[in-house]
Structure formats: structure tokens, C-alpha cells
Structure 1
Amino acid sequence: HINIDTAKGCASCDTPNGCASCDTSNDCSSCDTSKGCASCDTSNGCANCDTSKGYASCDTSNDCSSCDTSKGCASCDTSNGCANCDTSKGYASCDTYNDCSSCDTTKGYASCDTSNGCVNCDTSKGYASCDTSNDCSSCNTSKGYASCDTSKGYASCDTSNDCANSDTF
């Protein structure tokens, strides 16, 4: 007969607490990494989330299901990893660490700010500022951009949102 120490989370095993398997002393020493656990805490339960995969915090059942929205994650995928970028903030794709750090340059973004949000417009293409949806859609009128500013000799904007076509009249 083997006595099971339920205080340490081992039933056979206590999977809600993040245990993957029991060792010979009936102590849950193996964490269920598939649930986002990085390591076991002192009570042998997986309470530490693997932040490298985009987890922000653990829920009440010790399952890392919350995404770190500050890193640009919009939602968690089926494997509880933040793989979906919040495109509404200008993210184009996720890097190898599941951190949305790439800006969608096709929308006029120059670079990401410190909070991983694409708010800096590429002024070299004529953008003056970003609108509320973080899309660089405002032209720099001081440089002749409007759509376009015919009073300054521009006829229209080209496909790259740069007023390069002059109205020769």
C-alpha cells in the first residue's frame, strides 16, 4: 500500500494543478508544460507561467491561459501560446518568441514604440500623424500632401502613399 500525499498535489496525479506525472515518492515534480507552466512552485503546483510564450498570468486552475496583451498578443491559440498578433495595433507578424514586434510597413508604420505598438508614422512617405486606429492615413500638408494639394502642384498620390506625381500645368 502506498500512501499518497494529497497535500503535495498528488492524487494520480492532480492534473488541475499542472502536474504531468508523479515520481516514486508520490510527489508531483513534473510540470505539464503543454499548459504553459515554466516550473513548479514550492507546493509542487505549476504556478509559474512561461512568459517566453506570451503568457501574462495563470488562471485559478493553474493553467496559463491569459495572453500578455502588452506584447501584442490578441488571443491565445489552441496550444495556449500567443501566436495571434493584434493587427489593429499595426503588427504584421510575430517573432520566434511569440512577441509581436514587427510593424506592418504597408500601412505607413516606421517602427514600434516601447510598448510594442506601431504608432510612429513613416514621415519619409508623407505621413503626418496616425489616426485613432493606429493607421498612418493623414498626409503631411506642409510637404504638399492632401489627396493631393493641387495648389502646390500635385496631381495625385501614387500607390505608396507618396505624392510624387506633379500636376504639370
Structure 2
Amino acid sequence: MTDPPAPALSRTLGLFPAANLVVANMIGAGIFTTSGLLMAQLGSPVLMITLWVVGGILALSGALCYGALGAAMPRAGGEYVYLSEQFHPIFGFLTGWVSFFVGFSAPLAASSLGLSEYLASAFPQLLAWGGEVAIKRSIAVAVIVSLTLVHLRGIDYGAKVQNVLTVGKVLLIVGLI
């Protein structure tokens, strides 16, 4: 008895939205939240930018590795497929759970909290509604819920929002440089 053929992957994202997903994942919130700390520690904007460029090169290397793996194993599942086929399904399973908690949930929470800090600084009247910590956490949760609702509308709408946010992020970085 043979296995039924795997369904074909639907490729609904074009090059620009797909590239923006990669760029957004490579350029996290850290560049906005840690730049002041780095300047205080390093004392040199040239050294800080050099470190960011080195980090970008390392991130690009990782992205190219994932691109090669995706081209070699063009099936839905990402890391699960790569590790399950190369080593053992338990590694794919464990990596999936680690990615869920450490690779996705924790950075999402940290980025949302970072954004809430910026919003609270830009609009201090927000903090007048209650306790500072509760308000900042509420803003962070609202950001996560809002982006969840964006993606529930569909991949096309989510890609449009992602494009705007990523282009905005890149323009902010160019403005900082």
C-alpha cells in the first residue's frame, strides 16, 4: 500500500511580502530597545553600527541556511520536517515546542512590552488610567490581539499590514543612521 501524494503547497505570497517577512524577523525590536544601552556601554556610534552589521550578516547566514533547507525539502512544516527527516521525529517534535514557547511567544511578548514602553513614554496620559504596570501590560496584550485579528482576516490582508510595518521599521532604522 502506498501513501497518498502530499497536497501541493499553495504559494499565495509574492516576493515583496515574503521578503518583508524575512526582513521583519531579522530586524527585531532589539534595534529600537537596546540602542541606548549599547551606546552607553560602547561609547561609539561607529562600533554600535558595526556590531549591528555583524549581527545582520550572521542573521543573513541563518536565513540562507533555512532557504537552502526549504529548497531541499519543499514541504510544509519547516524545522519539524528538517529535523525529523535528518535525525528523528522526536527532535522535530521537541523543536516545535521550544520554538512555540521560546522562539515565538517570548519574543512576541517582549516586543509588545517594548512597544508599550515607547507608547507610554510618547503618551504619558495613558498611564493616568491606572497602575503603570497594568496599563503597559494591557497595551502589550492589545497589540498582540490586534495583530492576531489582522491575521485572522487572511493572508493577503496580513501581508499588506506586514509590508507597511516592515517598510516603516526599515525607514526608522535609516533615519537613525
Shorter-chain TM range is under 0.3
Which one has the largest radius of gyration?
1
User: Structure 2-normalised TM-score?
Assistant: 0.20
User: Structure 1-normalised TM-score?
Assistant: 0.21
Q: Which has the higher helix share?
A: 2
* Higher RCO (CA 8 Å, separation ≥ 6 residues): 2
